[in-house]
Amino acid sequence: MDINLRFLNKLSQWFNTLRAPKASLKTESDDAQNGLISLLTIANQYQGQATPKNLDSTVSSMPVFTEQGFIGRSSQIAQLTDVINLWRNHHGEISAIVAPSGAGLSTLLGQLPSLVQSNSVEPENPESTAKPLPKNGLIMSFYLAPLTASDAIANVCYCFGIKPPTTLTDTSITDIIFAINQLPAQLIVIDDLHKLMLRMMGNAQALVTFATIVMETRKHHCWILGCEKFAWQRLSAQYQITQFIKHVITVDYFSAKELASIQTKQLVNLGLISKDDTQVAPPAEHRLAKTSSKNSHTAHETDEAMNPFDDQLKQLHTISQGHPTLAILLLQYSFQQQTNTESSNGDSSTHCICKINSSALQLCQDNDLFSLAEIYVHGGLRVAQHAHIFAQTIEQSSLQLAYLARQGLIIAQYSQQDFAQHFYFITPALSKIIASHLVNNNKLFN
């Protein structure tokens, strides 16, 4: 008889929890009173702000942003400008921007059209043969990984608005490449390259087909690919992708100064400081308590010269490790918890940014961590895909993924037709914390 001891163990834990007296159960308010926030609370905070996506969508067009309010990334912008100018001068090669999850890669890519227009150098010689800036630009992400050459061709054809062939022949790829190279030059940005990679039969050939088309059109069209850091390392090891990518630009999480600049806007929105970022906005009971200064007699002068929440912003960077989404949630949650405490107790004592209680991660077994690693690298998995990768039944995968979702480690998007098509992805605000834990436990390799 095949007895799943691990499942029985989890069932026993759930039953014991259900029977436990309510007073003995650890609650969100217990964490808050101790200056902590659990991973599940962070996940719930994020889900309250998230917008649902269409599970059946294969391709998603990404938003284009303006430069207003854009923080940092000057080095990466300079490198991207060089890439564009090289392409315009007939030295076009495939480029990639690599960043850890949640570091703002999609936002940077969304800035690309406006950044290109404002930073690219026009040729001084009016008779120059340099290509003009592309009038057409497209930023998109493929949510469903191709598992056949036909799927890969269809995805690329979608980029250019051309109809893919109904059946593949010996000349199909050649014909598609020729047709694409006859179109007006375009800037094509593919975000979430890691979502194209799936460890299932047929995906390797699909990636080769996709790469071939991109390689053979790179001189005419400007291709820029965005990829998650750890997925890039896997692509490099398994598919030697670095042999085909000429320019690799790296992005990391925000520095303390950059994160403070981002959060200053959040402080204004919360009413904690005025728009000039130097004055504390009334009323006093609605502000996050400032850390006391040893030089209190110079407090007025200090307030005139610097953000009055400088100490809290430094704490915020240390706790969030530069992750912008997590920092926003921590700031909002810490403010909310202090306001609730002051309202109930009349206590206006100093409070700091809540620290993170990551005990749920510590309780994960190896199978859970391996699942989290695969979900992280792929940008999300469906139940059926998880079952295929781990050679499990659909039911086993469904139970395991549901368990991780209850801990707040992953978020579910449910299919109305088939539970095997439920889609699970790492809680974006927790991506840095989960990735660090996986690296430390040898499930992701840095």
Buried/exposed code over 283-308 (b: 16+ C-beta within 10 A; e: otherwise): eeeebbebeeeeeeeeeeeeeeeebb
pLDDT confidence of 397, banded at 50, 70, 90? very high
pLDDT in tens, 316-346: 999 999 999 999 899 888 888 877 766 655 5
CB atoms within 10 A of CB 179: 14
Task: Calculate the average pLDDT of the chain.
Answer: 78
Judged by DSSP in three states, 97 sits in strand
Report the Cα 303 to chain-centroid distance in Å: 35
Torsion of CA 393, 396, 397, 400, to 10 degrees: -170
Report pLDDT for 383: 96
Highest-confidence range of 6-10, 110-114, 434-438, 442-446, by mean pLDDT? 434-438
Kindly indicate the confidence band of residue 128, based on its pLDDT and cuts at 50, 70 and 90: low
Residue 94: strand, helix, or coil:
coil
Q: How many CA atoms lie within 13 A of 122 on its CB side?
A: 6
Residue 276: predicted pLDDT: 61
DSSP letter assigned to residue 289: P
Confidence band, pLDDT 50/70/90 cuts, at residue 101: very high
pLDDT per residue over 350-383, tens digit each?
557 899 999 999 999 999 999 999 999 998 999 9
Angle 373-379-380 from CA coordinates, rounded to 5°? 80
pLDDT > 60? residue 125:
no
Domains identified in the chain and CATH numbers: 74-120+129-250 (3.40.50.300), 358-446 (1.10.10.10)
Position 89 scores a pLDDT of 85
Per-residue confidence at 126, pLDDT binned at 50, 70, 90?
low
Q: What is the predicted pLDDT for the residue at 161?
A: 87
Is residue 58 classed as helix, strand or coil in its secondary structure? coil
Q: Report the percentage of the chain scoring pLDDT > 90.
A: 34
User: What does the pLDDT read at residue 218?
Assistant: 92
Q: Which residue has the higher pLDDT, 320 or 274?
A: 320
Q: Specify the DSSP element, H or E, that contains 381.
A: strand 381-382
Q: What is the pTM of this model?
A: 0.77
Region of poorest pLDDT, from 55-59, 102-106, 337-341:
55-59
Q: What is the pLDDT of residue 360?
A: 92
Lowest mean pLDDT among 6-20, 152-166, 228-242: 6-20
> At 24, is the pLDDT very low, low, confident or very high (cuts 50, 70, 90)?
very low
Beta bridge partners of 140: 61, 190
What is the percent of the chain with per-residue pLDDT over 70, rounded to a whole number?
73
Nearest Cα residue to 71 out of 429, 324, 316: 324
Cα–Cα dist 290/416, whole Å? 48
Question: What pLDDT is attached to residue 25?
Answer: 39
> What was the pLDDT predicted at 85?
86
Overall average pLDDT of the 299-305 stretch:
41
Tens-digit pLDDT profile for residues 150-190: 999 998 998 888 899 888 888 999 999 999 999 988 888 99
Bigger pLDDT: 292 vs 347: 347
Nearest to 381 by CA among 154, 116, 254, 198: 198
pLDDT of amino acid 18: 38
- Which range (116-120, 145-149, 329-333) has the least confidence? 116-120
